[in-house]
A = this chain, B = another copy of it.
Amino acid sequence: MEHDSRDIRRLLGRHEIRPTKIRMAIAGLLFDGLDKHVTVDDVIALARARDIKTSVASVYNTLNYFAAAGLLRRVTVEQGRAFFDTNLSAHHHFYFEDEGRLEDIPAGALQISGLPKLPKGREIKSVDVTIRL
């Protein structure tokens, strides 16, 4: 399931993101049909490998912008680096501490039951489960 630039343009459009050159290029790297967990450095390396010229600041700008627009999910497993997850469906993660790597836990392979009563007036924004290995 490869995505061509028309697919990428539609994807950005659906999230009301203006399809600039850098955004198209980075989205093209990320949304190729495979789920990914990337850091900013990963994206810079990916871009370099495809001769996409950009800057650290722009990669941060773009990933943050995508996350705010709901195109990426930010995942925090350790202080320091942030991961961005291209898989937006409800799922959880294995974290390989020695490798600093995330991996999806297959949907349905883990269930949470008996959600606790919430403090009043609050609603759940997300439920994050990380299994550290």
Contacts and interface: CB of A to CB of B under 8 A. Distances in A.
B111 A114 contact: yes
Copies of this chain, complex-wide, total: 2
A110 interface: yes
Interface in A96-133: 96-97, 103, 105-106, 108-119, 122-133
Interface of chain A, main secondary structure: loop
Which bucket holds chain A's interface residue count? 35 or more
Interface stretch (A3-11, A27-35, A42-50, A72-80): A72-80
Given A79-B80, A79-B81, A125 B97 contact: yes
A12 interface: no
A94 interface: yes
Contact of A109 (B76, B116, B123, B133): B116
